[in-house]
Amino acid sequence: MNNKWTSKLADLSETDKNWLASAIDFEGCIDISEFYPQRRQYGEFRTRISVGVTDKVLVDRIVELTNGLGSIYHRIRMNGHYKDVWEWSVSALQAEAFLDAISPYVIAKQKQMDLFKKFISTKSQIRPCPNRHLPDDIIRERHKLIAELRSLKKGGNNE
């Protein structure tokens, strides 16, 4: 896969790719979701890869390695028992570029990455719009992949 975000990751060393993959394996989230925008009959799908940690230094390192790819969110915890969380995330084309760079190095979440790749492969060349939707067989396949991903996250076999 080659998109405008791929160039931001082109100079990653093998060590950097391993470090980023480890961040995904230990603190990362691989997510695909469906939502229904207002006044739309058909749902839309979102792909997202994120890392949430309580030490901003780790998020800063991810941003440095990826040349500013993604977004950073600071979630402030109101309950004193929990620390604030810093989250780095990429979605859509950025997530695809990130996935291409690190997926060979992911170990613990390799099955989740594989499902993410399968989902990406279902993308239509034509962007859905309010008056046009994805074919039913693609939607069924996407729902199946989302269900499999959720099963893995709930403790299903991830080997």
Q: If one looks up domain 6-153 in CATH, what number appears?
A: 3.10.28.10
**Mean pLDDT (whole number) for 113-120:** 93
Residues 6+ apart with CB under 8 A from 92: 46, 47
Q: Is the pLDDT of residue 125 over 50?
A: no
**Mean pLDDT (whole number) for 127-131:** 57
Q: Is the pLDDT of residue 84 over 80?
A: yes
CA dist., res. 159 & res. 146, Å (int): 18
- What Å distances lie between residue 18 and 13, 26, 54, 62, 135, CA to CA? 9, 12, 21, 12, 38
Backbone dihedral angles phi then psi of residue 49, each to the nearest 5 degrees: -125, 130
- What Å distances lie between residue 84 and 22, 79, 115, CA to CA? 22, 9, 30
Q: Where are the alpha helices (DSSP H) in the chain?
A: 14-27, 56-65, 92-102, 110-121, 136-153
pLDDT tens per residue across span 101-116: 999 999 999 999 999 9
Which pLDDT value is given to residue 58?
A: 96
Provide the pLDDT confidence category of residue 36 given band limits of 50, 70 and 90.
Answer: confident
CA dist., res. 81 & res. 94, Å (int): 34
- DSSP 8-state code for residue 81: T
Q: Is the pTM of this model over 0.75?
A: yes
